[in-house]
Structures are given as structure tokens and as C-alpha cells.
């Protein structure tokens, strides 16, 4: 059985050290065939395959939706593939095929966030209303900072049906296709301190927590050696 490709959307900017260590963690722990960088490929990541896209800068959701569509429409990307982010680190060996994880009912996330506002929460509520309108009375959220297996045609259908670029596309895809999966708590580490599970099989960081926090030190110590997707600067 052929291993799936890994697909990662990458924003513009050459100094993406989170991507560097994410790639190292995937090589070590996430079985795959190729890595495809969609969007901007840093010079040092020339060992990865590349799908260039126009990054309009309206929001990160627009860019990642564009990247998802580009991957689904590219004939050389495997079907299915595994979607990951450049700040997602796989800390221990994973099986193939990669399993599906979800975050639990959207209503529980809404209760957790309460009356707080922001683009993410607005998109979550809009996505919830959209799915409820289709008859999914208690939709599950798939908005986790862990990889997600993606089948091309169902994802393209989800992107076509979703209410705009900002919609939670992982959730629309997961709910429309009854993915199920295992519930887990999100692994994003927002702060510099050591208050995170060092035994977690997955970690995700913010730029500051990666550069200056305990979680970033753990990740860099775990994957000190370059991987095949990295190249040295030309002299």
C-alpha cells in the first residue's frame, strides 16, 4: 500500500524555523511518501516538493483554503494525503494510515470560549450554523493542531459548500463525511512556560513559545539533526 503524501501550507517568509523542525519531526515519526509545501517554499526546504500559490494576505484562512484546493487539484499529490501545519510537531511514531482526531462537539467549544470574540470564534459559529442548517444538529469540531487525513473529492466538495474562505474547513469536511475519530484536547502551546504535556504525541506552538519557551526547547532538543528536505546554503 502506497504511503500518503504530507501537504503543508506555508506563509511567505524565509525564516520559518517552526517548519524546519516540523519537517524533522515528520521524517522521524510520520510515515509518508513526499512532502508538498503549498504557498511559499523557503530556500532551505528545496528538498520538499512545491505548489506555488498566490498569497493575497487577506487572512490566513484565505491562504490555507487556497492551499487546500491547490493540493486537492494537483494530479501528483496522493489521494488521500495528510494535511499538516508548519507549526505541528509529531513527537512519537505514528501508524499508517494516520488516524482521525477531533475536538468534540462545537457547542462545548463555544461554552469554553464563552462570550469572547474574534475571527476564529466568528468563523466557528458561522460554521456551526451552516452545519446545523444542513441537519447536523450537534456537529463535531475537527479544528485541531494535529495532522488530518484528506480525500480529495470530498474535501473539494466541502470547500465548495462551505460558507466562505473563513469557514472551518476541517470541520465542514469532517462532519459532511462522517469521519468520526478519536476525541482529544488541542495541543497548541500558547505560552513560554512548562505547563504542557511533555509526553504528548503531538505539539503545536506559537512563534514566541517556539522561539523562547520550554516547548520550543523540547522540540529542538528532540530533533537536532537536519532531515532530507533541508539543504545547505550555497556558497
Query: Per-residue pLDDT tens for 44-79?
Result: 999 999 999 988 766 777 889 999 999 999 999 999
Q: Taking all residues of the chain, what is their mean pLDDT, rounded to a whole number?
A: 93
Q: Which of 8-17, 27-36, 111-120, 160-169 has the highest mean pLDDT?
A: 27-36
Kindly give, in sequence order, each residue whose CB lies less than 8 Å from that of residue 147, ignoring residues fewer than 6 positions away.
6, 30, 82, 83, 84, 88, 90, 98
- Domain map of the chain by residue range? 6-222
The whole-number average pLDDT for the span 100-106 is: 97
pTM flag (> 0.85): yes
Grid cell of 163 as nine digits: 460558507
Q: What pLDDT sits at residue 116?
A: 77
Task: Write the class of the CATH domain 6-222.
Answer: alpha beta
Residue 153 has pLDDT above 70, yes or no: yes
Amino acid at each position: 500500500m502506497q504511503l500518503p503524501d504530507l501537504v503543508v501550507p506555508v506563509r511567505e517568509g524565509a525564516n520559518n524555523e517552526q517548519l524546519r523542525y516540523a519537517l524533522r519531526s515528520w521524517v522521524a515519526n510520520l510515515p509518508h511518501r513526499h512532502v508538498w509545501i503549498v504557498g511559499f517554499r523557503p530556500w532551505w526546504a528545496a528538498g520538499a516538493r512545491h505548489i506555488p500559490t498566490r498569497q493575497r494576505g487577506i487572512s490566513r484562512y484565505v491562504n490555507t483554503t487556497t492551499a487546500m484546493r491547490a493540493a486537492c487539484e494537483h494530479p501528483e499529490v496522493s489521494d488521500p494525503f495528510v494535511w499538516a501545519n508548519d507549526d505541528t510537531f509529531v513527537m512519537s511514531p505514528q501508524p499508517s494510515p494516520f488516524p482521525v482526531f477531533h475536538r468534540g462537539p462545537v457547542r462545548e467549544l463555544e461554552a469554553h470560549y464563552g462570550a469572547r470574540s474574534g475571527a476564529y470564534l466568528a468563523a466557528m459559529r458561522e460554521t456551526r450554523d451552516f452545519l446545523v442548517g444542513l441537519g447536523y444538529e450537534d456537529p463535531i469540531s475537527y479544528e485541531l493542531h494535529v495532522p488530518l487525513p484528506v480525500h480529495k473529492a470530498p474535501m473539494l466538495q466541502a470547500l465548495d459548500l462551505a460558507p466562505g474562505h473563513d469557514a472551518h474547513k476541517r470541520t465542514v469536511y469532517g462532519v459532511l463525511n462522517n469521519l468520526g475519530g478519536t476525541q482529544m484536547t488541542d495541543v497548541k502551546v500558547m505560552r513560554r512556560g512548562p505547563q504542557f504535556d511533555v509526553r504528548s504525541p503531538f505539539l503545536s506552538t506559537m512563534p514566541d513559545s517556539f522561539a523562547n519557551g520550554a516547548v520550543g526547547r523540547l522540540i529542538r532538543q528532540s530533533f537536532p539533526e537536519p532531515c532530507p528536505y533541508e539543504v545547505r546554503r550555497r556558497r
